[in-house]
Amino acid sequence: MHRRYWLPGEEIPPAVVTSGGKEGELVMASVKYDIEVQVSRVSVSRLLSEYWNPDPVREACKLCPDYGKVWSCPPGVPEADDYLKPFREGFLIAVKVKYPEETRTLAVSAAKAQEIRNQTYEKVKRNLLLTLLELEKEFPGGICIGAGRCILCSHCARQDGESCRYPKLRRYSITAFGFDFARMVRDLLGIELLWSPDGLPEYDVAVSGLFYT
């Protein structure tokens, strides 16, 4: 039976394909990709004063298929100014997942593109979160914010009307706090977000934060 969650301390398996095959079954061979990491130190006051614009962002969140289905995402995410109030500054960490042409040519449809992302981009996001959870230990009182939805469980308890299984390990999505994400990433990390509705762009970007007092 395929497990829908993993216990703290266990290695979380790489993301698995959930479209085009049975859950837990990879339906494509391994694909090639490269990663590039950018880090920027920023004050909390600058983040809030220059990039926090919650109302339009949260309206956009309602269009997401995960809206109301995962505890790391709206509705119910704390206000950024309250959540980040204890912290003075932090690091924004961006991992650019770069797809060579031979990988992009495999993405002949939106479904195939998602299969590739499940083996590449989603795996990178998992490793990024696990790394930041370890780095929190180096910054007593600090906390990280995840790149996208929480990945500790493959099926969030919220969908079953239950409380989070691991509230001490859960980290909110950085995009859920209402920042002008594209402008923030462009200004502070020098990365322009790319979009490709039916295939793969040249790269995807996973952005997390680590904040400390």
Full DSSP string of 151-173: -SBSS-GGGGT---S-TTT---B
Q: Domain-by-domain residue ranges, the chain?
A: 34-212
pLDDT tens digit string along 3-18? 333 333 444 434 333 3
Contact 190, 38 (CB under 8 A): yes
CB atoms within 10 A of CB 160: 7
98 close to 48: Cβ distance less than 8 angstroms: no
* Lowest-confidence segment of 9-18, 23-32, 55-64 by average pLDDT: 9-18
CA-based nearest residue to 5, from 159, 174, 177: 159
Regarding pTM above 0.85, the answer is no
Q: How confident is the model at residue 29 (pLDDT cuts 50, 70, 90)?
A: low
